[in-house]
Structure 1
Amino acid sequence: MTEQSQQKNIAVPEGIWIMKQTWNDVLFAHWPVDDSTLRAKIPAILDIDTYHGQAWVSMLPFMLTNLRARFLPPIPGAQSFPELNLRTYVTYKGKPGIYFFSLDADHRLAVQGARTFFHSPYFYADMKAEKNGDAIEYRSKRRDAVKAAFGATYRPLSAPFTAQEDSLDYWLTERYRLYTTHRDKLYYEDIHHHPWLLQRAEAQFSTNTVADAHEITLPDSEPLLHYAKKQDVLFWPLRQWR
């Protein structure tokens, strides 16, 4: 039986969106971590967000498609590529959001643009995502000197559901603000999308050293896993907090 949603409507940010993307075959892999190990890796201005006192780190491999800026035609060759995110959960003045340790992408122009215009910690990587039936085989290896590699095969297990508002599933996935810093200034970017249609998932990890590259040690325990087939996402301009 499909679980029923208890969510409130998510408010659309003020102003106009400037970019849209589609995220396909998303794996959410979540690990509980000690918040004290994260404190030195997150800007002091941000508070670490916890669920019932527990901090979390998540990795999200997916295939990005339909990338385009508002009012502009698609950029040839820059509309689709694999992406892999390493993130944790933060708040600022009570507003929950995401803080990225890294975002790996298999597109040099996208990496350079995101670093320049969005102050995001993007890295250029050799990546490949292949679908075999309902399974996704995903591989990534960063192209710099840091040995940050990821390999996994994952698939959905359950019928789709939307998370109950007070649940851990909801807390981990329904996040609509991204925080970053640049030259000691805090920036944020709002996004908007429909509530996630999640599925329970399984995954076999052959390689996973992305967190190690950022001196984050993941526990030996099995991660909490979610899968999402597709999500259309709108992005608002990056703004400096004043």
Structure 2
Amino acid sequence: MSDRGERYTGGVESLTPLAPRRLRRVLFRQFWRDLVFLHWEVDPFDVARLLPPGTVPDLYRGRAYAGLVFFRMEDLAFGNGPPLPYLGTFNEVNVRLYSRDALGRRGVVFRSLDCDRLLPVLAARAGFGLPYRWARVSRQWHGRHLVYRTRGRLHERPSGRVRVRVSDDTVGLRPLDEFLTHRWGLHERGPTRTYYLPNAHPAWTFRRCDLLDRDASLLAAAGVAPLRAEPDSVLYAPGVPVRFGTPVPLPSPGRARRPGRAR
């Protein structure tokens, strides 16, 4: 990893298996386990209107993608402190888009995040403005079959479900899969300006998996309309430890640096 710190001054950030910058300060840590990534191609113009100010759609060969990601969050901890008991472990499902800012940093924009712990939902909404929703989210293994389900509580009823069969065989990534998973930060609207929140983790390891069933209703609820019914990418990862740095405000429009050409 680079020792340039959180500041990035190049063109468009490269799609690399490791973050291109070192985190100066670790704000919080967590472990992502049993991740299932489903991705569909979507209209770039639809994506553009859903992104925060100061960002544009990050396109792969002129195409935009939306992701529906299921996983288990474990051992949430702040700084170098110990993991939070009970509250630091929960299941999560999110809908995400892909963005790029004027400094060329590639990122993720979350349209929705379902979580089955109320306190983390309230903290993430208040502290970072992230669109978390308190939901009933479950994860179950049945032999080699992994099943996630989510449904909103109260009057929020959009649901989601996925069932995959996972093998022990590792698989390499296609260029499209690298574009979708080699992401080292997120963009979100702040109180006065869009910010970038960097992260770092080891390189992904993916295992072969077959999609057996899914309910992608969360995409429509998040304002996202896939161009086809079947996903363009289905991936399973056993998990990685993740560290997040401190939020970095995006430059004001008058000081923005023109990015290079996207891949």
2:178 equivalent among 146, 170, 181: 170
Structure 2: any 5+ residue segments left out of the alignment? 1-14, 252-263
1:83 aligns with 2:92: yes
Matches within 5 A, 1:1-242: 9-93=18-102, 94-157=104-167, 159-163=169-173, 167-223=175-231, 224-242=233-251
Distance of 2:241 and 2:66 partners within structure 1:
23
1:218, distance to aligned residue in structure 2 (A): 2.2
C-alpha contact 1:140 1:151 (8 A) present in aligned 2: yes
- Under a length normalisation based on structure 2, what TM-score does the superposition of the two structures give? 0.83
The offset of 1:71, in angstroms, is 3.5
Note the C-alpha offset of 1:202.
1.7
Q: Distance in 2 between matches of 1:144 and 1:184?
A: 31
Q: Tell me the secondary structure at the aligned position of residue 160 of structure 1.
A: strand
Return the alpha-carbon distance in structure 2 between the equivalents of residues 33 and 191 of structure 1. 26
Distance 2:228 2:153 in 1: 27
Q: What is the CA-CA distance between 1:8 and the residue it aligns to?
A: 6.5
Q: Distance in 2 between matches of 1:55 and 1:192?
A: 24
**Which structure 1 residue ranges, 5 or more long, are not aligned?**
1-5
Amino acid at match of 2:120: A
> What's the RMSD between the two structures over aligned residues?
2.0
Letter in 2 for 1:159: D
Check conservation: 2:128, 2:190, Cα contact below 8 A. Answer: no
- d(CA) in 2 for partners of 1:57 and 1:42? 12
1 CA distance for matches of 2:243 and 2:23?
A: 12
Percent of matched pairs sharing the same residue: 26
Distance 2:34 2:171 in 1: 15
SS at match of 1:16: coil
Partner of 2:71: helix, strand, or coil?
Answer: strand
Deviation at 1:212, TM superposition (A): 1.3
Question: What TM-score results when the alignment is normalised by the length of structure 1?
Answer: 0.89
1:118-170 Cα offsets, whole Å, 9 max, x none, are 22111110111011122111110012433310112113246224536xx1111
2-structure distance, mates of 1:50, 1:7:
16
Matched residue SS, 1:37: helix
- State the distance in 2 between where 1:147 and 1:211 align: 13
Deviations 1:75-116 (A, max 9, x none): 332121100010011100211111110111100011011111
- Equivalences, count: 235
